[in-house]
Chain A
Amino acid sequence: AQTVTQSQPEMSVQEAETVTLSCTYDTSENNYYLFWYKQPPSRQMILVIRQEAYKQQNATENRFSVNFQKAAKSFSLKISDSQLGDTAMYFCAFMKSFGSNYKLTFGKGTLLTVNP
């Protein structure tokens, strides 16, 4: 079974600064997807960024980028130029690429607060 661990229950950052959220995972699979989801106070789960394990290049989406270290099973999220609207819970998640076990396994989340 896959597990996803987020070791930082809470973090805070000043507006316009950079912050990195950590995530590690455990799997015996070679092909899989990794995700970061954002859950603001509105409660909606929003996909921030996605990484395919077979791709060595780290994914980027505007101010959001990841540092994917496959051998270390590490998948951190970097938020640059933090904005007040980035305040939210952030969840790291794992999914197998193939097979019938088609489910997202989530970490417990990191509450990020962006301070003005």
Chain B
Amino acid sequence: DAGVIQSPRHEVTEMGQEVTLRCKPISGHDYLFWYRQTMMRGLELLIYFNNNVPIDDSGMPEDRFSAKMPNASFSTLKIQPSEPRDSAVYFCASSPLEPGREKLFFGSGTQLSVL
């Protein structure tokens, strides 16, 4: 299996622009997570899905952030409009249903820089 695939690997954009991050989870996994990593706050869960349904989005910072999972093999995290404080590494992760749901497999992340 290719693992969790994220694109792009790097994204540089200007303040106010829309940014879309993409994720393809491991085939057969039922859970998908979006995490954000910054120096100040470390790794934080933004949102997670179970069978394509958002379960907990309490970590989404504000209405500028939205996430979708239209099917089992694809998810997006959108920021509109982007701000410099959104600069971070965004990770997507997936995990299977029991047993082993606690074993998250992470993608390589998207490094987002908002100028």
Query: Residues of A at under 8 Å CB distance from B?
Result: 33, 35, 42-47, 50, 91, 95, 97, 100-104, 106-109
Kindly state whether residue B25 has any CB partner on chain A within 8 Å.
no
Do the beta carbons of B43 and A106 come within 8 Å of each other? yes
Known: A102-B48, A106-B42. A44 touches B104 (CB 8 A): no
Interface: B7 (CB within 8 A): no
**In the complex, what residues of B have CB within 8 A of residue A47's CB?**
103-105
**A–B Cβ pairs within 8 angstroms, 25 of them:** A33-B102, A42-B108, A43-B89, A43-B108, A43-B111, A44-B107, A44-B108, A44-B109, A45-B91, A45-B93, A47-B104, A47-B105, A50-B102, A91-B43, A95-B102, A97-B102, A100-B55, A100-B56, A102-B101, A103-B45, A103-B48, A104-B43, A104-B45, A106-B42, A106-B43
Residues of chain B within 8 A of A101, CB atoms compared: 56
Pairwise interchain contact B55-A102, C-beta atoms closer than 8 A: yes
> Are A107 and B31 within 8 A (Cβ)?
no
Interface pair B48/A44, CB less than 8 Å apart: no
Q: With A42-B108, A45-B106, A47-B104 as known contacts, state yes or no: A102 contacts B42, CB within 8 Å.
A: no
| 8 Å CB contact of A102 from B31, B89, B103, B108 | B31
Would you list the 6 A-B pairs with minimal beta carbon distance, nearest first? A45-B106, A106-B43, A103-B45, A33-B102, A44-B108, A43-B109
B90 smallest CB distance to A (angstroms): 11
Chain B 72-115 per-residue mask, 1 if CB under 8 angstroms from chain A, else 0: 00000000000000000101010000000111111111010000
* Cβ contact within 8 Å between A104 and B104: yes
Q: Give Cα A46–Cα B102 distance, bound, in whole angstroms.
A: 14
Question: B62 to nearest A CB, angstroms?
Answer: 19
Interfacial residues of chain B within 28-54, with CB under 8 A of chain A in the complex:
31, 33, 35, 42-43, 45, 48
- Cα–Cα, bound, A102→B104 (Å): 11
Contacts of B103 in A (CB 8 A): 47, 50
